[in-house]
Amino acid sequence: MKILKYIIFIYLLVSVNYLSAQEENLQNKITKNLRCLICQGQSVYDSDSEFANSLKIIVKQKLSEGKSEKQIYNFLEDKYGKWILYDPEFSKNTYFLWILPIFLFVIGGVLILKLFIIKKN
Amino acid sequence: MASLIGYYSLIFGLCSSFFIIFFSVKNFKDSSTFNNKILSLTFLQLFFVVVSFFGLILSFVNSDFSNETVFNHSHTTKPLFYKISGTWGNHEGSLLLWLLVLTLFIFLFLLKSKTQTKKYRILTLLFQQIIIIGFFIFLIKTSNPFNYIFPIPSEGLGLNPILQDPALAFHPPILYLGYVGSSIIFSSTLSAASLNYISKDWAKHIKEWVLISWIFLTLGILLGSIWAYYELGWGGFWFWDPVENVSLMPWLALTTLLHCILVLEKRLALTSWVVILSISTFTLSMCGTFLVRSGILNSVHTFASDPERGLFILIFLFCLIFLSLFIFFFFHKVEKKNMKNFFWLSKETSILINNWFMMYFLSVVLIGTIYPIFLEVISSDKISVGPPFYNKLIIPFLIPFLLAMAIGPKLDWIKSEFQIKLYSVLFLIISISLSFLIIKNLSVNFLLNTILVSSAFYLFFITLRDFFDKKFKLFSQTLAHFGFSLFILSILFNNIFSTEIITNLKIGETFKDDKFKINFEKIEKRNEQNFKEIVGKFSIENHNGDVDILEPAIRIYNQPNISTSEADIKTNLLTDKFMTMNLIQNQEYFSIRYQIKPFMLWIWFSVSLISLGGLISLFYRKYEK
Amino acid sequence: MKNKIFPTFLVFFFLSIFFIFFKGLQNSNIYIPNTNLEKNIPSFIAKLFDSDDNISSEEIFKENKFYLMNIWASWCVPCREEHSFLMNLSNEKNIEIIGFNYKDNNAKAKSFLSELDNPYNLIISDKDGTLSIEWGAYGVPESFLIYNNKIIKKIIGPIDKDLFFEIKELIQ
């Protein structure tokens, strides 16, 4: 019963990343993932500041040149550093970031099983 | 004058602490009953803080610019209502609000705990005093709201106009009643743990305080989101911004605690876990205060950031943590026979599962918020952790969580028989079919959304049916869970069905696509007390021929000299129509953003339902079976 | 004995978290994109401000001298503050000042220059702001000190007295 649940989670986790590529306008998706650097906590998509507007134009240009999403992120990361990206990519710097919560989840499950469910002698 | 009284009142308040401690320790050790002098002294301390607070309010109302805080955050042309709310809309004033809630809650606690033992009450008071003294010192030494400046300026620097909004005026007080109110849970738990006082009766007694704190925290967060939606002009209400996360984390811990207390009350199990959760809730509040006020994080609503203040809070926070660790390991006794086994299909287990998921969500938010700080210290690399991270890690887990919420309340304590009722299967089929029909025409993330919406619908139908069932006893819980299902459904539908048009228009121009026709009719200019306004009048016709008139505006404030974009929002039961307009530098046209956002009202309404569930539980306190 | 391990571990755990937060407090919070130092300048073709011709980056930065690339606009208030420093620098022999007119209206930009004087050897129009993004800038005013087609120093915000003297020293 529980194993089934685990399988479903993992499947869903994978599918989220997989399927989300097809959703919505790619331009919107990219600009939602970019931080407006002169605003205090807004994405380029949400912001109407000068910087955000210029960045939207650049994203549009690059997309029409045929660049992929990853290439655009690399281009901007090169100019502005990783901070401009809201989605922390899964790299050696961020292993813990992504894995730690899942790890804690698994530990939690194990703890509950051991302490409360499995019959003690 | 008001500032002077306010300042000395603060000093007197701090001094009262020493009297309180003196008499409390004496009373603790002796054999007599609770000394009512202590109660009076606690009230006296509350009184001093209230006077101080009013002193600050008066200084704001009178635009007394000899007071540095008033000078920095107010202006003579500010409307009276916002002069008053400006009192707590800044760092120093909000800390005074902290003190107000801290002293208020301990006084109320002493009043309402007359049936508890003397030692427990006094020890709670003492722990709370540690926090109170810490804040008094913090306030007086680093964040004095009554600093005198000379020569006295004739005008103030004004409050950020984005903060001049009714929702935001009420947001801090209500939020603090929850956020700071969790201090009483912290103090009383440490006290109970030290005295080995944790029992079913104690759980019942503390549940009331957990509920009060929880209700206000929920409402406070709701108000913050409503403000963000109506005022910030981007059409969103939650951005996983660090300050938002900081209010969410105690809420998650508090909700978990609320569920745990039920187990403790009924079966005297999970005592250690309850202690840990109680301590964690307030620790998270303090940690959040540190993150937001020290300048260590960058966010849309940080207060004035100051490393010196940050250092004080950091040290204070960790003193509290180490104190809690000390008490937990040295005093708290875990009786072996409390480590009961739970049957796998029982209400206890379902609450454990709730805890399991809630702690996971908490860890996601905590790690996401703090990780960039750690990374920067260790590797000098600066990264952002934004909405994509939280969405990816939280959304898939919502599915089993929603299902567990539907099934859990139906299980019995200790042991449940595995029965599959007809209606639950029926609802499952209806939920899945309904979701399928709704989502199939959209290409968005089909599988995930369908399952998610199905789970939310399932919880929705199950709880809805419960209202019509005989059980009035579980009403508050059903209401809160129903509210939650409605909340998830509203957010999902809002996400799936929102549409938006972004374009540039000149005055007189019209935009047309196959769904809408937007006509930029004209511009009106207005002058108000502290700003000038350019209002654009737009008529929007949809494909049915219905016309809406929306009037977004651009405001140019005089003090401080900034301009903001004011959205015009037409709200009705089903949808919000949201429009903003922005000036493009040195061009003749404006950039227009028109959004259709369905079910916004239902998002606010569902969260209110959740709090209402808590409120009803508070007043209808007969423990539900 | 086992009972002592877990609390001790927790104490060390929280102590280390304390130290990390402590160090974090001391780091500056203003985000300046690191590097751009010793980075090559971007290669581009842009439109000249006062004519319809285009010019390439190679043409602009071809000589063996210092260049100060300055992003400015007539609607930008801090640009006025740094203007006197720019005028002073424009009198130096071994540096040329290149202006990027950012999202501006030509008429207003011209009147800005006639009001405050023109320190620029050359001005380029960046009407939509995309060129500035190629440089990794995000607003006005910003300046880049260039030598040998490399960015030596990046200045965010208006040039103040300290920065002005720093530039003067660097170009000797």
Of all residues in chain B, the percent with pLDDT exceeding 90 is: 55
Token couple for C145: 């000190």
Nearest to C143 by CA among C66, C91, C75: C66
Do residue B443 and residue A23 have CB atoms under 8 angstroms apart?
A: yes
Which domain range does residue C54 map to? 39-170
What are the start-end ranges of the E strands in A3-111? none
Token couple for A36: 């407006």
Q: Which residue of C has its CA nearest to B317?
A: C18
pLDDT at B625: 39
pLDDT at A20: 40
pLDDT at B430: 85
Q: Say which residue, B529 or B24, is predicted with more confidence.
A: B24
For residue C27, give every residue at least 6 positions away whose Cβ sits within 8 Å of its Cβ, in sequence order, or none: B376, B377
CATH of A24-87, one of 1.10.8.640, 1.10.150.120, 3.40.50.10470, 1.10.287.3610: 1.10.8.640
pLDDT at B470: 64
Residue A22 pLDDT class (50, 70, 90 cuts): very low
Distances (CA, A) of C81 to C118, C119, C165: 14, 14, 15
Closest Cβ opposite residue C139 in set A50, A57, A80: A50
Measure the CA–CA gap between B564 and B267, rounded to whole angstroms. Answer: 56
Chains in contact with C via at least 3 Cβ–Cβ pairs below 8 Å: A, B
Q: In the predicted model, is pLDDT for residue A18 greater than 50?
A: no
Residue B1 pLDDT class (50, 70, 90 cuts): confident
Q: Are B539 and B547 in contact (CB under 8 A)?
A: yes
Domains of chain A: which residue ranges?
A: 24-87, 93-121
Interval B268-295: pLDDT, tens: 778 889 999 999 999 999 999 998 888 7
Q: In the predicted model, is pLDDT for residue B617 greater than 60?
A: yes
The vertex-C94 CA angle with C89 and C95, nearest 5°, equals: 45
Best of A33, A97, A120 to disrupt the B interface (most B CBs within 10 Å) is: A97
Range from B303-317, B544-558, B597-611 carrying the lowest mean pLDDT: B303-317
Domains of chain B: which residue ranges?
A: 1-162, 165-412, 499-600
Q: In the predicted model, is pLDDT for residue A102 greater than 80?
A: yes
Do residue C34 and residue A81 have CB atoms under 8 angstroms apart?
A: yes
Residues of B in contact with A33 (CB under 8 A): 386, 388
Do residue A117 and residue B384 have CB atoms under 8 angstroms apart?
A: no
Residue A37 at interface with chain C, using a CB cutoff of 8 Å: yes
Measure the CA–CA gap between A80 and A92, rounded to whole angstroms. Answer: 20
Average pLDDT over residues B546-554: 91
Nearest to C69 by CA among C136, C162, C169, C165: C136
> What's the CA dihedral at C146, C150, C154, C159 to 10 degrees?
0
3-class state of residue B499 by DSSP: strand
Q: B414-419 long-range CB contacts below 8 Å, 24 or more apart? A: B414/B267, B414/B343, B414/B346, B414/B348, B415/B343, B415/B345, B415/B346, B416/B343, B416/B345, B416/B346, B416/B347, B417/B345, B418/B345
3-class state of residue B516 by DSSP: strand
Average pLDDT over residues B444-471: 84
Do residue B384 and residue A86 have CB atoms under 8 angstroms apart?
A: yes
Nearest to C97 by CA among C47, C156, C143, C49: C143
Q: In the predicted model, is pLDDT for residue A11 greater than 80?
A: no
Measure the CA–CA gap between A32 and B2, rounded to whole angstroms. Answer: 48
Query: C154: part of which helix (H) or strand (E)?
Result: strand C150-156
Average pLDDT over residues A56-71: 90
What is the longest distance spanned by two Cα atoms in chain C? Answer: 84
Edge-to-edge strand ranges of the sheet holding C66-72:
C39-40, C150-156, C142-147, C66-72, C95-102, C122-126, C45-48, C54-56
Closest Cβ opposite residue B586 in set C10, C20, C108: C108
Average pLDDT over residues B602-615: 95
Interval B524-540: pLDDT, tens: 999 987 789 999 999 99
Residue C65 pLDDT class (50, 70, 90 cuts): confident
Do residue C33 and residue A79 have CB atoms under 8 angstroms apart?
A: yes
Q: In the predicted model, is pLDDT for residue C120 greater than 50?
A: yes
Identity of the residue numbered B602: W
Residue B559 pLDDT class (50, 70, 90 cuts): low
Closest Cβ opposite residue C103 in set B325, B376, B586: B586
Average pLDDT over residues C134-162: 87
pLDDT at B624: 46
Q: Which residue of B has its CA nearest to A47?
A: B234
pLDDT at B450: 87
Average pLDDT over residues B370-381: 89
Shortest Cα distance, chain C CAs vs residue B585, angstroms: 7
Best of B272, B292, B296 to disrupt the C interface (most C CBs within 10 Å) is: B296
Q: In the predicted model, is pLDDT for residue B400 greater than 60?
A: yes
pLDDT at B299: 60
> Is the whole model's pTM more than 0.80, yes or no?
yes
Backbone angles phi, psi at B593, to 5 degrees: -130, 120
pLDDT at A19: 40
Is C17 inside a domain boundary? no
Edge-to-edge strand ranges of the sheet holding B499-505:
B499-505, B590-598, B575-583, B568-571
CATH number reported for the structural domain that contains residue C130 in this entry: 3.40.30.10
pLDDT at C33: 52
Interval C126-139: pLDDT, tens: 888 888 998 888 88
**Dihedral sign computed on CA atoms, order B432, B438, B443, B445:** negative
> What's the CA dihedral at A81, A84, A86, A90 to 10 degrees?
-10
Average pLDDT value over all residues in chain B: 88
Q: Highest mean pLDDT range out of B150-164, B167-181, B230-244, C77-91?
A: B167-181
Return the residue matching tokens 């994109």.
C33
Of all residues in chain C, the percent with pLDDT exceeding 70 is: 92
Q: Highest mean pLDDT range out of A44-53, B150-159, B281-290, C81-90?
A: B281-290
Is C19 inside a domain boundary? no
Identity of the residue numbered B316: F
Is C13 inside a domain boundary? no
Shortest Cα distance, chain C CAs vs residue A42, angstroms: 15
Interval B218-237: pLDDT, tens: 999 999 999 889 888 788 89
Average pLDDT over residues A63-78: 91
Q: Which residues pair with B519 in a beta bridge?
A: B510, B539
Q: In the predicted model, is pLDDT for residue A17 greater than 50?
A: no
C-alpha atoms less than 13 angstroms from C-alpha of B379 in its C-beta half-sphere: 9
Measure the CA–CA gap between B457 and B462, rounded to whole angstroms. Answer: 8
Residue A80 at interface with chain C, using a CB cutoff of 8 Å: yes
Distances (CA, A) of A48 to B226, B590, C14: 21, 11, 42
Closest Cβ opposite residue B393 in set A40, A101, A120: A101
Do residue C103 and residue A50 have CB atoms under 8 angstroms apart?
A: yes
Query: ipTM score of the complex?
Result: 0.87
Q: In the predicted model, is pLDDT for residue C31 greater than 70?
A: no
Residues of B in contact with C74 (CB under 8 A): 586
Residue A7 pLDDT class (50, 70, 90 cuts): low
Return the residue matching tokens 């006084």.
B107
pLDDT at B473: 67
Residues of B in contact with A93 (CB under 8 A): 375, 379, 381, 383
Of all residues in chain A, the percent with pLDDT exceeding 90 is: 33
Shortest Cα distance, chain B CAs vs residue A66, angstroms: 23
Q: Are C65 and C95 in contact (CB under 8 A)?
A: yes
